[in-house]
Amino acid sequence: MTPPAQGREPRPVRTSRSRRALVAGSVGNFIEWYEFGVYGYFATIIAARFFTPEGGGEAEALVKTYASFALAFFFRPVGAALFGRLGDRIGRRPVLILVIVTMTAATTLIGALPTYDTIGALAPWLLTLLRVVQGLSAGGEFGGAVSVMTEFAPPGRRGLYGSWQSFTVALGLLGGAGAAALLATVLTERQLSDWGWRLPFLLTLPLGLGALWLRLRLDETPAFLSRTAQASVRPPARETARAVALGAGRVMGWAAAGYTFLVVLPSYLQSTLNASFRQALVATVLANVGFAVTIVPAGWLSDRVGRRPVMLTGALLVTALALPLLNLLQGSGTSNAMKGVAVFLAGAVVGLMAGPGPAMLAEMFPTSVRYTGLGLAYALSNAVFSGCAGLIITKTIERTGSVDIPGYYAATTCAVSALALLTLRKPPAGQGS
């Protein structure tokens, strides 16, 4: 159930302010997902450097690495509630500035952390602490960025503008994969394991400073200024909570399938299918290219035909194709070209959900609770279905011996998401684009 509208929001015009908001909102998402991608791509190396005491097994270390990964996601809802509340009270701009500073500092420090060999058991605890800080700031990033993008969007273009949030997710993951692939090419395995893995994390510092400069030049959104200039009534907490739960259900397939195909894939290919690090990265790059290619067109299309048909198509395609595509990767007789097509297609169908997703969530909440509401819906879904993806898949494969677990996971979550999307209707006046 969507909270009631609180009056018509102003229609922002197509100006340089809109374009500036698009860039300023996007850049934080790029950095956030660049880092999360890097952590996922270097999961096996991080496991060896931080979670493998003498006598510990590789599988055990990888599970602990993904547990740290999942923990950061479980702090996202806390960050979404904390920063979202601030963003709905004092404005989108100051909170997004705070979020980018926090994310940049935590990510840069990961690149400078001493490893288990240097400080012993303190190393994984420090890494986990920084992952928690990242989770808090990432929880505040999505709601603010999407609020800024969609509240500055010209009439009838919320889907297109919101899709840039997801598009910069793809760019961030590609940037992380590209950095990992470049290092794997120019460095030896020993160099990569000893110190090379640190470089992508340290690169976040100049990226974050650039993002901070852009956000300092950002204007407050017209919708927020209009809301604070008038007496506005917050919708009942029960209705907002119901909308948050429904929104989380609608994007759970996007969250689960996205992380399965775009982030967990490298470790799965290495640990389960015995692929090399470079082969796994090439597959991941292809999946992320497929993801990136469909996002913006899907957002644009949703402005014309509606959010539901585009997102529902993506959810149903993942449900139907997840296992067949995974089986192509597993087949010893499958050519490299066919494997490339399979991972590209896997990413592309997830993009059909990711493109319209941000605008769909923004339209579920009025301005007074938008930052908090859409941020919580997204963060809760990601905490359960993205953050736990690597842990669930790795542990279940270890226990059952079934290499089809990633396909079952993506298909099941997308099937449930499709049911939730069937309830999606055109947003009420004052909340839609």
Closest listed residue to residue 285, CA positions, set 343, 329, 349: 343
Q: Is residue 396 part of a domain?
A: yes
Distance CA 140, CA 134 (A): 10
Helix axis angle for 307-330 and 405-421, nearest 10°, is 170
Distance CA 292, CA 172 (A): 10
CATH of residue 102's domain is 1.20.1250.20
DSSP assignment letter at 15: S
Asked if 28 and 147 touch (Cβ cutoff 8 Å), the reply is no
Q: Is residue 55 part of a domain?
A: yes
Per-residue b or e along 375-411, where b marks 16 or more CB atoms closer than 10 Å to that residue's CB: bbbbbbbbbbbbbbbbbbbbbebeeeeeeebbbebbb
Copy the structure tokens of residue 401: 């011996």
Distance CA 202, CA 173 (A): 16
Residues with Cβ within 8 Å of 324's Cβ and at least 6 positions away in sequence, in order, are: none
DSSP assignment letter at 156: T
DSSP assignment letter at 427: P
pTM of the model: 0.82
Distance CA 134, CA 91 (A): 21
Q: Is residue 39 part of a domain?
A: yes
Distance CA 309, CA 19 (A): 28
Distance CA 265, CA 347 (A): 11
The pLDDT value recorded for residue 276 is 75
The pLDDT value recorded for residue 427 is 62
Residues with Cβ within 8 Å of 161's Cβ and at least 6 positions away in sequence, in order, are: 18, 22, 149, 150, 152, 153, 154, 299, 359
Beta strands, E only, 220-353: none
Q: Is residue 5 part of a domain?
A: no
Q: How many domains does the chain have?
A: 1
Q: Is residue 428 part of a domain?
A: no
SS3 percent helix, strand, coil of the chain, rounded to 5, is 80, 0, 20
Q: Is residue 6 part of a domain?
A: no
The pLDDT value recorded for residue 7 is 39
Q: At 192, is the secondary structure helix, strand, or coil? A: helix
Residue numbers of the domain that contains 179:
16-224+235-421
Closest listed residue to residue 394, CA positions, set 43, 52, 116, 54: 43
Asked if 223 and 8 touch (Cβ cutoff 8 Å), the reply is no
Copy the structure tokens of residue 272: 């389960």
Q: Is residue 85 part of a domain?
A: yes
Distance CA 46, CA 36 (A): 13
| Residue whose tokens read 């006046």 | 429
Per-residue pLDDT of the chain (433 residues; tens, 9 = 90+): 444 444 344 444 456 778 888 888 888 889 888 887 787 777 778 877 887 655 455 565 666 666 666 677 788 899 999 999 999 999 999 999 999 999 999 999 999 999 888 888 888 888 888 988 988 998 899 999 999 999 998 888 999 999 999 999 888 878 887 888 788 889 888 888 889 889 999 999 999 999 999 999 888 888 888 876 554 567 788 889 999 999 999 999 999 998 888 877 767 777 777 777 777 778 878 888 999 999 999 999 999 999 999 999 999 999 999 999 888 888 777 787 888 888 899 999 999 999 999 999 999 999 889 999 999 999 999 888 877 777 788 788 888 888 889 899 999 999 999 999 999 887 654 444 4
User: What's the distance, CA 292 to chain centroid?
Assistant: 13
Distance CA 374, CA 301 (A): 21
Q: Is residue 4 part of a domain?
A: no
